[in-house]
Structure 1
Amino acid sequence: MSSSTQHLLVATAALGAVAWLVGVAVITIGIARARNAGDPDATVARARRMRTVTLALTVPGAILVAAAGGWYVLGRDLSIDPNWWIGTALATWLVTTFGSTFGRARQLSLAADRAGEHGTDDEDAQWRIRRVDLIARGELLLLVVAVVVVVLQPTAPL
């Protein structure tokens, strides 16, 4: 793999990671601010907007990270054994993507639909939004840890 291809893959993975991380931060902050305001209408409206953020930023970001990062690792014949940061990145991607990112838009839609049927102050609708908020906070924490580990690459030669 040429040096320019490696640089392009690293830049693509970094762009995806930034989009993913910023998207999750926007979702976490947006839902938390709406919930703290105590206005159920605003919370449900914000949840609907956060569905768009999920589909526009976090899902494409996660896919970019997987595609570019995977191609980079395979192209350089890196293995997980001596480079444990690769395993950390892969495990974090799997947990956050399948545990949160890919299901978030559906969960927010279900909460908004429930609020539309039963009113924005419906306890179940508000709990669904709160659950998305809690899961997104966990995802944000894992993503920050993964980005730090991958950037530092503790087992990479100096």
Structure 2
Amino acid sequence: MSGFRYKEYKQGRRFILKIIPGESLVECITQFALTENIHYAVILSAVGSVRDVCLRGIKSGAKLPITPARVNTHLLEGPLELLSLTGNIVPDETNTPDCHLHIMAGKSSCDVIGGHLFDARVFATCEIVLTELVVEGVERHHSTSGGIPTIYFNEE
């Protein structure tokens, strides 16, 4: 199979995580993973509200690799309703948890925005349901063809 790669995993521990107002979403998730010795995980759901959101959208017509010139970075003061947070935690080359997250958030006008999340501050609350994945041989590395960090599977 040349079009895709995969690894089977088992479900590990399951957590409900509450992040308090003012905290960095990405820093808290990363610190939680370090504290609980979580190497791999998936975000199942997240609700709450956020402010000071920094996210990225790929420009229309962009080609690979993704470079800073081919993306728009947006800074949104908020507050915004956190409608969805999806993503995963996979260790990077230094075995540090790396969060790859995408966000959907609602403005007071009910317009919805979304993209790759760099970070955000929790406004009133953030409630996350997270599942640990039990798997080996997966790491996140920078992809020269894609231009961004992506998961790689160690061949056995």
- TM-score for the superposition, normalised by structure 1: 0.21
Structure with the largest fraction of helix: 1
- TM-score for the superposition, normalised by structure 2: 0.22
Which of these two proteins has the greater Rg computed from alpha carbons?
1
